[in-house]
Structure 1
């Protein structure tokens, strides 16, 4: 008896996925719920378990290919017989419908896009690249326009632009030396699905928000002392390493309750105030960056925040996150200080309106009561959307966090 392996739907608004790696090959034995392959979607990377035990008899979708949800990507023979893989058919590229009317204004293109079946990511790309989705013929289920369709359209558009580009521009490129690069001295590597998603998200955020950054310095001496004092006891009693992150999450949660506009978002000309405080913590991976979210952070104890941050970071590195783990964040914290960075001006994680950057905690000489003392100091930078948050409010929010960190009194466990 054969069991079909299908591309799962990893979230309500996700309609396609890319197979990034097969963990088994044809002929290998597999057990039910054993990781079978890895996928990447608009939301998250994840390992997909085998739906049944048996022998992997057929792989129908190769690594790097993007397919619709519910597509059969492999077959497991529950009686243990492997089949020869069928000849691979060359996939046809996306079809570009010939426009019968002259190109119209950008606003007309946006209006024409409405009603076309596509994913939120495709519509976002179309908006950024000024593409009228009605000009494309979707290859997805029911004529849905997939990410592969629109990226193929953009590639074709670029090829046409290359042919029709003015001679003056071509001459300028030649003078700049772009045509003189020795091809054996460079390596061209395609972006991963995650890297493409990050690139699109960052560019869209820069185009959307009015980014402004403010910098504060906080004295972390008391917290450093507490961490050093209780680190071993925390590990032996709770089984997790004590880090600085739960201190920051706890103080930020309290600050967001004081200044709810920093926890809000913008929707057209309306301000959306969020009652839930869901804090995303950026996790650096070998293959990219992801921001898992701690839901209702203000309702958790210090120990609860420590456990949640460790759990999400570990599952992110093991590709065990679900789409729900990275959704509905209202504020983001990034911590490049662990790599030695003193400060940074990060890009806002849309649709949020602010992001906190934590620098490295280092000992520095500071003046206290007209005397020089050695203290553990940290630079904290807040990048905020000036469309919604005024500089005074941003600085008041940061001043509140600074006071809470420097006068920490809460018990750790």
Structure 2
């Protein structure tokens, strides 16, 4: 008696997340999967979560890459009564057919019947291959898990179009005009990319005029939240600058001993987290939020620190930052940054912050106006350290200066509080000893 198909459902991604986007299928349609295998990735506004096979069997897709899917929705089925087909062709006759027909490898280009099939591709890679008429089986894959990516397709196409043309045939031994040079026409066995009529046009050999790709779920949510922040809050930004001479001196003086004792480098961010906590205690409304007609003042100091990743900006939260020392802060920051860039961060790590710090200076930004991270009411922007002439004790001296920006919700925070908050940040980083003795 055949067993009933077992559904593949969208996994729960966190308390406030109700939907996601099916970013990609890891396992091909019709392939054999083992219980516990990751079969696809669901992308939400916070992170990417895999959906796993609960049983072994043949996978049947019920949704396509790029579809918006609800948490708990059925996106596929697994037939547990089916078994992988093993080719009987000797390895010496057909190396590609000697493997299990539908192994759990996401990079296999062998289908359940033992024949060659299209290699696994990213959504962007599949789309541009179809638009440019490229045979995916001819493309060299460089993506993770052996996926053919969009750059792979473009690189393959550029190499094919730029390849030397075959020499023209020898003309007959009769007077005739000189043969025209051979054109760069691809072999007839390979579809010719429709540069002139397709959605992607070329400006030169193998170079498309434009490339389109679907916005990731994270990027879509970031865009939505940024627009909402602009529409729902009265955002204002105030600026100041800080002399980082003392912070740099302390880092230089204790860098080696700090690394030796704690096993991690002493960075700038831990100083600014400590300074932000000090300033939030002095100006508690900056640590608050608006809920309906009420102002909620947080009594905890959970500081979000923006981390840039290939998927977009993530803001993991340092919990109870007021109770942690510099070494603990640096270790948590390093761990969060690594996990975020490796796409291994948990949704819970990104929720519940009360204030955010972003450092555009690591990319060279000299001055910017950061946007609030709702429902928070304040965000501190750090920028590049630049040596500039400043007046100190009536003398013009060169100092390592950093512009600071505080964007705040004017509905809850007055200008006096915002300016005072930023001045307090400046005082703390210019005299870091004050944070150590709490004055």
Instruction: Provide the TM-score with structure 2 as the length reference.
Output: 0.64
Q: Distance between the aligned counterparts of 1:210 and 1:48, measured in 2?
A: 38
Q: Distance between the aligned counterparts of 1:281 and 1:17, measured in 2?
A: 24
State which of 75, 80, 83 in structure 2 corresponds to 1:81. 83
RMSD (Å) for aligned C-alpha atoms: 2.8
Structure 1 counterpart of 2:171 = none
Q: RCO (CA 8 Å, sep 6+): is it higher in 1 or 2?
A: 1
**Is the aligned partner of 1:14 residue 2:17?**
yes
Contact 1:217 1:379 in 2 (8 A): yes
**Is the aligned partner of 1:257 residue 2:281?**
yes
Q: Distance between the aligned counterparts of 2:345 and 2:76, measured in 1?
A: 23
**Is the aligned partner of 1:38 residue 2:41?**
yes
Contact 2:33 2:53 in 1 (8 A): no
Map 1:240-251; keep pairs closer than 5 Å: 240-251=264-275
Change in 2 beyond 3 A, CA 1:55/1:232: farther
Q: Distance between the aligned counterparts of 1:307 and 1:294, measured in 2?
A: 11
**Is the aligned partner of 1:283 residue 2:285?**
no
- Structure 1: 5+ residue stretches without partners: 86-181
Structure 2 counterpart of 1:361 = 385
Q: Distance between the aligned counterparts of 1:192 and 1:49, measured in 2?
A: 17
Question: Shift of residue 76 of structure 1?
Answer: 6.0
Map 1:91-102; keep pairs closer than 5 Å: none
Q: Distance between the aligned counterparts of 1:299 and 1:377, measured in 2?
A: 29
Change in 2 beyond 3 A, CA 1:242/1:30: farther
Q: Distance between the aligned counterparts of 2:65 and 2:264, measured in 1?
A: 36
Change in 2 beyond 3 A, CA 1:57/1:305: same
State which of 371, 374, 383 in structure 2 corresponds to 1:347. 371
Give the paired residue count: 313
**Is the aligned partner of 1:190 residue 2:214?**
yes
Contact 1:280 1:329 in 2 (8 A): yes
Secondary structure, counterpart of 2:402 in structure 1: strand
Q: Distance between the aligned counterparts of 2:262 and 2:80, measured in 1?
A: 42
Question: Shift of residue 296 of structure 1?
Answer: 1.6
Change in 2 beyond 3 A, CA 1:225/1:80: farther
**Is the aligned partner of 1:295 residue 2:295?**
no
Secondary structure, counterpart of 1:382 in structure 2: strand
Instruction: Provide the TM-score with structure 1 as the length reference.
Output: 0.68
Q: Distance between the aligned counterparts of 1:54 and 1:372, measured in 2?
A: 74
Larger proportion of helix:
1
Question: Shift of residue 244 of structure 1?
Answer: 1.0
**Is the aligned partner of 1:215 residue 2:239?**
yes
